[in-house]
């Protein structure tokens, strides 16, 4: 997403909770001649999303495209998932999108220029097979949230569009997302029944 935006001549702000990965992505984009800025952000914390918005406005003066793309997963059965599992996954995958919308939509509306929001979900949000319930619930929630937001903005004849991105199988480190799990939401590793091969 960031590379395509840069190819289109956009100034790109990257946000990630994992600073080394963020800096690598930032350097890679800069090497192509893109104007970019990386901001370490935990999207499950509204204050950090607000700081991201402030930094973006101070640096570039506006926001015309928001991609809510952060995602984590914890895989076990519904009844074995701890409250920490649910809090962590919903905190990033659903609340992160809610915070993004609450923070950036007012900015976009005030700009009175064309802008757009892209919320990344997953085909898993449409299929209720065993495992990863918290992940699926979070993605289904984002689908409903996005559709509602679309209709609300349309009703106001706002110049803000909304899309939902449904990627299929993409090679990411989602299965290894526990590497960024906060210490206060850690879980017993023996409860995770999903292996990297799955």
pLDDT in tens, 122-148: 887 788 888 889 999 999 999 999 999
Q: Which residues are catalytic?
A: 135
Tell me the per-residue pLDDT of 93-104, one tens digit each, with 9 for 90 and over: 999 999 999 999
pLDDT band at 185 (very low <50, low <70, confident <90, very high): low
pLDDT beyond 60 at 192: no
pLDDT at 176: 61
Structural domains in the chain?
A: 65-191 (3.40.50.720)
CB 39 within 8 A of CB 52: yes
Q: What are phi and psi of 93, to 5 degrees?
A: -75, -35
Mean pLDDT of the chain: 89
- Ranking 8-12, 72-76, 181-185 by mean pLDDT, the lowest is 181-185
Phi/psi at 6 (5° precision): -65, -40
């Amino acid at each position: 997403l960031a590379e395509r935006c840069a190819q289109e001549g956009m100034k790109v702000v990257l946000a990630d909770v994992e600073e080394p990965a963020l800096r690598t992505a930032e350097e890679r984009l800069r090497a192509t001649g893109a104007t970019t800025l990386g901001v370490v952000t935990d999207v499950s914390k509204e204050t950090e999303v607000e700081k991201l918005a402030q930094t973006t406005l101070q640096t570039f003066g506006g926001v015309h495209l928001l991609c809510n793309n952060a995602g984590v997963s914890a895989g076990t059965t519904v009844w074995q998932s701890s409250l920490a599992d649910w809090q962590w996954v919903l905190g990033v995958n659903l609340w992160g999108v809610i915070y993004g919308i609450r923070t950036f939509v007012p900015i976009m509306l005030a700009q009175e220029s064309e802008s757009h929001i892209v919320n990344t979900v997953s085909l898993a949000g449409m299929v209720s097979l065993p495992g990863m319930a918290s992940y699926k619930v979070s993605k289904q929630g984002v689908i409903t949230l996005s559709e509602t937001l679309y209709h609300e903005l349309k009703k106001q004849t706002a110049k803000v569009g909304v899309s939902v991105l449904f990627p299929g199988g993409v090679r990411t480190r989602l299965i290894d997302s526990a590497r960024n799990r906060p210490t206060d939401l850690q879980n017993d590793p023996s409860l995770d029944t999903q292996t990297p091969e799955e």
